[in-house]
């Protein structure tokens, strides 16, 4: 079964610092990969997705992620953190083949931004 | 596009009672998903519908849980004989297409507390 691992349940950065949230997937065939963000008291919303068209994917709010097959990773980055980026971030994966279309989510990483 | 709507936002019930949640997906979205999320965890898949057909259910899902999507529009999730372990946020999501790389549109969830 497909799965994703998010290293670090909490990441703390200062405003203006680089944001790096880690995601690794377990699959011999590269799946479709997604990053979602959940702000307090809101539903999850898509930040960006990887669909094999390009390894570097740009998303909303200045976030981007790079797909690295050799490392089975899809880490999320942002050059300069803003206070409004404080939220829960989830990596998700959908199999590229097979019977299931169900997205599987990681445990999430809480991003804390200090002034 | 009014978004995915879930009702109620909060539900408090006593152990052993039955509860029902409703989800109204975005109009014309074919797929509808139910997930469950507990504190510190990512969304856990429960079941999904393609139009009115329930195509997949989690093998971990208790027989006390049942879901319907009559006429392929709104969906209901019922939990019978609730247990304290059922306390969680229940999330509904919908998507418009049948592809594997489609993003999910999430509602704000229904928070269930079983006393």
How many contacts does A have with B, using Cβ atoms within 8 A? 59
Give the distance from residue A93's alpha carbon to the nearest chain B alpha carbon, in angstroms. 9
Q: pLDDT tens for residues A27-57?
A: 777 789 999 999 988 899 999 999 877 889 9
- Cβ separation A44–B103 shorter than 8 A: no
With an 8 Å Cβ cutoff, is A17 touching chain B? no
Name the CA dihedral angle for B26, B27, B28, B30, rounded to a multiple of 10 degrees: 40
Per-residue pLDDT of chain A (115 residues; tens, 9 = 90+): 678 999 989 999 999 999 999 999 987 777 899 999 999 888 999 999 998 778 899 999 999 999 999 999 999 999 999 999 999 999 999 888 776 778 999 999 999 999 9
CB contact set of A70 (below 8 Å; sequence gap of 6+): none
pLDDT at B1 over 60: no
Residue B91 pLDDT class (50, 70, 90 cuts):
very high
The SS3 of residue A71 is: helix
Q: pLDDT tens for residues B17-60?
A: 999 999 999 998 999 999 999 988 999 999 999 999 999 899 88
Structure tokens of A57?
């994917």
């Amino acid at each position: 079964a497909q799965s994703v691992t998010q290293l670090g349940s909490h990441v703390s950065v200062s405003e203006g610092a680089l944001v790096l949230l880690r995601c690794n997937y377990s699959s011999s065939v590269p799946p479709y990969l997604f990053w979602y963000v959940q702000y307090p008291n809101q539903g999850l919303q898509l930040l960006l997705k990887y669909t094999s068209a390009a390894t570097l994917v740009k998303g909303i709010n200045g976030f981007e992620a790079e797909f690295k097959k050799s490392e089975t990773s899809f880490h999320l980055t942002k050059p300069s953190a803003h206070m409004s980026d404080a939220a829960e971030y989830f990596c998700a994966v959908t199999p590229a083949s097979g019977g299931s279309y169900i997205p599987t989510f990681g445990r999430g990483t809480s991003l804390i931004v200090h002034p | 596009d009014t978004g995915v709507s879930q009702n109620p936002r909060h539900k408090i019930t006593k152990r052993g009672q039955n509860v029902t949640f409703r989800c109204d997906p975005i109009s014309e979205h074919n797929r509808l998903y139910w997930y469950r999320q507990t504190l510190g965890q990512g969304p856990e898949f429960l079941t999904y519908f393609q139009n009115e057909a329930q195509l997949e259910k989690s093998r971990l899902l208790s027989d006390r849980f049942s879901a319907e999507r009559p006429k392929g529009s709104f969906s209901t999730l019922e939990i019978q004989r609730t247990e304290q372990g059922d306390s969680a946020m229940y999330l509904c999501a919908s998507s418009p297409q049948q592809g594997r790389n489609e993003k999910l549109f999430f509602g704000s969830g229904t928070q269930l507390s079983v006393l």
